[in-house]
Structure 1
Amino acid sequence: MKFRYKHSILIGFAMLSLSACVTQKYTRPQVNSDGLYRDNNTTDTTTIADLPWKQLFADTTLQSLIQQGINQNLDLKQAIERIKIAEATLRQSRAAFLPSLQADVSVTDAKQSASALNFPAGININLETQTYRAAVSTAWEADIWGKLSSAKRAAFASLLQSDAARRAVQTQLIATIANSYYTLLALDKQLAITEQTVRIRTQDVETMRALKEGAIVNGAAVVQSEANLYAAQVTLPDLKRSIKEAENALSVVLAVAPGAINRTSLDQQVAYSNLQTGVSAQLLQNRPDVIAAELGFRSAFENTNVAKTYFYPALTLTATGGLTSLQLSNFFDNSIFYNLVGGLTQPIFAKGANKARLRTAEANQQIAFYNFQQTLLTGGQEVSNALYAYQTAAEKEATRAKQIESLTKAVDFTKELLRYSSSTNYTDVLTSEQSLLTAQLNGINDKLQKLQSVVELYRALGGGWK
């Protein structure tokens, strides 16, 4: 018994050694993950990617929308179903190590032609027979070269890749909801400012008419003030349409019918300011699409291992046993049969299938490696772009406030001059009012850029799934 035990251990070690000669052990490919963040050479590993999304977004209304999206978004649900597919594939690859088992029950009725058998005259033989058969068959392939093990590891990598893809969908979902929410708030603010501008310009028209009656201005000033009013009014329908479209788009993300979206106001929003990025090498562990790309390479690597094993002989064991009889009455009497077959199959000529399989697998592995590199570089680019977007928005914010303050005074001054002095005309008022409206709308875009750049930086760093 001890001899058999030791013999089995030696066989196991021998099989592992043979497998190691054909297949290779996976190691992470060498990629340069340093210095991906332009002009950001920090060594601090603290990153906002580790923050829960509820901590990054303080607006409770936005928090509710994000949670609703996580619960109901259809893209996320599809990603979860793809995980189930990968799990089933992994279970199937694990079951490949076990022998197959099949049961077969059959009845065969056979009849021969008397003329075909060419019997002499006078011989009477029953030419019709029935055969009753019940059998169980099994087959098992020894994993000598690691084909089954590599296939299992490939399936496991695919499962992890599906889960990482699901996390990537979630990070993108959170960013999409937050960006759409801030866009809606910005549109609301633009609409409010434009409506306020319409009210002011309506008063301007009345003022110009009164000044004309007092012979202070002429008819040209009146029609110019009316045109200025219409220029503001004509933008209102497009703003309202943009709000409806933004609400409809966000409704689809939330997997609900198009409708109004509950929200607060842009003035209540405060952008998160402690924007710590960590080091770029952390993208390998924080960013889901980078993780998924590496797992895709790992799966392709194991598929290459599988392709290599097809050049080597396969050891299979098959067994069949059961009962067979020509008469149903004595089916269980001395009708047992069985056979055992052990086979070693060495491919010699497969019409180029094995070479084509290997070359395809190697090419797919290289493609997966390039995709891994590109995904990592894209991650660094997106982090850098988000940082620059935040910095430029912050720089514009202070200057824009001064610009709006000066233009507000300019509008007031020109209106006063128009009332009491002939040194100005309504064209000056019109120019200053239009410049003020443009600056106010640009100020809204500056704040929107600042808010959305924080969202994009959080997503680019891999935040939102932990």
Structure 2
Amino acid sequence: MKWTYKIYIGALAIGMLASCQSTQSYQHLDIAVKELYRDTQEGDTLSIGMMPWQTLFKDAKLQELITEGIENNLDLKIGIERLHASESLLKQSKAAFLPDLSIGGGVKRSRLSYPQGFGFVKNATQYDVFANTSWEIDVWGKLASSKRAAYYRMLQSDAGQKAVQTQIVAQIADYYYQLLALDQQQTIIEKTIVNRKVDVETMQKLKESNVVTGAAVVQSEANYYDAEATLPGVKRQIREVENALNVLLGKPVGTIDRANLTVQELPIEPNIGIPAHLLKNRPDVMAAEYELAAYFEDVNAAKRAFYPSLNITGGAGFSSYEFKDWFTSTGLFANIAGGLLQPIFNKRQNKTRLEIAKASYQEKAYNFQKTMLVAGQEVSDALYAYEMAGEQLTMRQQQVDKLALAVDYTKKLLVYHSSTNYTDVLTSEQAHLYAQLAHSNDQLLEWQAIIKLYKALGGGWRE
């Protein structure tokens, strides 16, 4: 029993030593965020990235689609399962601090040689039941480092899940506004087809009155068929975008219920400013740093593998050659032992493990830097794209207005004045159609710039 007390006292002393040991923990990296952007203004765009998607996208039909996508998107479901797996690994790393326990039992029938039987027995039956335990005391913090690594990987999986949701929300919104823009373009083309059909009839009447020649009639008909030929391409694009959106929603292809582009209101002002707290909101940046922290702890664990390990083992049970004496005090046995194991030569396993851990950590450090640079590029691009889209849309609206006047003027001149011909009408009509389609596309570009900025700032995962 004295030896038992000595073992307990020794284990307690080593445990106290371990608790006093200082361990190196991962330190959050401070990044000069403003240096990641160009042409910034004073201000803070964090409020945009911090907005719940319900606040940014006010269209009720779009909100329904995003909700459906978050619930049913297959990539999000895959991410949830990965998160569950990382949570299980964290639980396992915590359980590593606990002792192992196993139980067993058996009955063994033996035929003994004469000397072992002492001349009395030739056959013996042994009855056993036992419990064994072993416990590695984390003196140097190896298990603690492994637990922290598992914890950071769980946080990485969680951040990765949020990053996927950010992408899904942005992609659903992008497809939705593509559909609205294509719907508007289809409406423009259909109205143009109706107008050009009227133009053909008008040219035929003017020819009968000797105001225009047969060439003008043929040109008007060609102009009509040009508009007709444009329509199938737009319808094809609508079908393709609808199908792609349905895949994002995790359901078979079909039509998408939607509003129209003219009723959409932009949620923010053009003067946006500097995203000063990008690290706190972008899930992919958070995931990259959590991954870096996990590999930092892997290095710590690999270093501590060089230190001796302290193990306490014990066992107890009942063993007897007589069934009636199996669970009596005469059959009771027990043992307890403690030991230190210092690795001396293990075929370079520990050294290789440490070198790999250090190289992997440096790789993740470079990956984190790359993630930050890409994040800065995406925010800078989105900021400038939004600014330029607003200017482009303003200029395009003026072009559409002027070309509408040009079409009206040339048609009147064709009827009432001989200084013009149908070629002038044709040119102005074609320019007006393409300007209208471009105006619709410019509206889409403005919305896409907002969506990209929202995604670049990490928006879409907050409720």
TM-score where L is the length of structure 1: 0.90
Structure 2: which amino acid aligns with 1:389? A
In 2, Cα distance between the equivalents of 1:420 and 1:288?
Answer: 66
Verify the 8 A CA contact 1:212 1:218 in the aligned structure 2: yes
**Which of residues 396, 400, 419 is equivalent to 2:396?**
400
Shift of residue 213, structure 1, vs aligned partner: 2.3
Partner of 1:203: 198
Shift of 1:410: 1.5
Aligned residue number for residue 191 of structure 1: 186
Contact 2:59 2:264 in 1 (8 A): yes
Which residue pairs with 1:84 in the alignment?
84
- Paired letter, 1:145: W
- In the alignment, what sits opposite 2:254? 259
Q: What letter is aligned with 2:17?
A: A
Contact 1:46/1:276, CA 8 A, preserved across alignment: no
C-alpha separation in 2, matches of 1:108 and 1:433:
101
Please give the residue correspondences for 1:358-369 in structure 2 after superposition, counting only pairs within 5 Å: 358-369=354-365
How far 1:142 moved relative to its partner?
Answer: 0.9
Task: Output one character per residue of 1:256-315: Cα deviation in whole Å (capped at 9) or x when no partner.
Answer: 222221111000011122367564441111111111111111111001111111111111
Over 3 Å counting, the alpha-carbon distance change for 1:11 and 1:345 in structure 2 is closer
Residues 423-442 of structure 1: CA distance to partner in whole angstroms, max 9, x if unpaired?
33322222211111111111
Q: Is the 8 A contact 1:319 1:340 kept in 2?
A: yes
What's the counterpart of residue 167 of structure 2? 172
User: Cα distance 1:413–1:314, how it changes in 2: closer, same or farther (>3 A)?
Assistant: same
Q: Secondary structure at the match of 1:416?
A: helix
Q: Judge conservation of contact 1:36–1:280 (CA < 8 Å) in 2.
A: no
- Give me the whole-angstrom Cα distance separating, in 2, the residues matched to 1:153 and 1:360: 19
Structure 1 residue aligned with 2:280: 285
Native 8 Å contact 1:35 1:41 kept in 2? no
1:126 to partner: Cα distance: 6.3
Change beyond 3 A, Cα 1:288–1:379: same
Separation in 2, partners of 1:415, 1:276: 42
Question: Which consecutive unaligned segments of at least 5 residues does structure 1 have?
Answer: none
Q: Deviations over 1:132-183 (max 9, x none)?
A: 2211011100101111101111111111111111211222221111111111
Match of 1:355 in 2: 351
Structure 1 residues 326 and 220 mapped into 2: Cα distance closer, same or farther (>3 Å)?
farther
Under a length normalisation based on structure 2, what TM-score does the superposition of the two structures give?
0.91
Q: Distance in 1 between matches of 2:101 and 2:285?
A: 41
Alignment-mate amino acid for residue 16 of structure 1: S
Q: Deviations over 1:375-398 (max 9, x none)?
A: 122111111111111111110122
Match of 2:326 in 1: 331
Alignment CA distance shift 1:192-1:413 (3 Å) = same
Counterpart residue type for residue 189 of structure 1? Q
Query: In 1, Cα distance between the equivalents of 2:88 and 2:182?
Result: 46
Q: How does 1:36-435 map to 2 (within 5 A)?
A: 36-44=36-44, 47-111=47-111, 129-274=124-269, 279-333=274-328, 334-435=330-431
| Cα distance between partner residues in 2 of 1:179 and 1:309 | 50
Deviation at 1:13, TM superposition (A): 4.2
Structure 1 residues 318-327 or 440-449, which shifts more? 318-327
CA distance in structure 2 between the partners assigned to 1:277 and 1:291 by the alignment: 23
Inter-partner Cα distance in structure 1 for 2:56 and 2:372:
24
CA distance in 2, matches of 1:163, 1:347: 37
Q: Distance in 2 between matches of 1:304 and 1:254?
A: 41
Give the C-alpha shift of residue 5 in structure 1: 12
Percent of aligned pairs with the same residue?
49
Secondary structure in 2 aligned to 1:179? helix
- Would the alpha carbon gap of residues 276 and 284 (structure 1) be closer, same or farther in structure 2, given more than 3 Å must change? farther
Q: Distance in 2 between the 1:133 and 1:32 partners? A: 68
Deviation at 1:220, TM superposition (A): 2.3
Distance 1:71 1:97 in 2: 37
How far apart in 1 are the matches of 2:26 and 2:12? 25
The 1:128–1:244 alpha-carbon spacing in structure 2 relative to 1, beyond 3 Å, is farther
Alignment coverage as a number of residue pairs: 453
> 1 CA distance for matches of 2:135 and 2:64?
54
Equivalent residue number for residue 3 of structure 2: none
**Alpha-carbon distance in 2 for matches of 1:9, 1:323:** 29
Find the aligned partners of 2:39 and 2:16 in 1 and give their Cα distance. 53
User: What letter corresponds to residue 104 of structure 1 in structure 2?
Assistant: G
CA–CA distance in structure 2, aligned partners of residues 407 and 146 of structure 1 = 76
The aligned counterpart of 1:31 is: 31
> Residues 42 and 9 of structure 1: is their aligned pair in 2 closer, same or farther, counting only changes over 3 Å?
farther
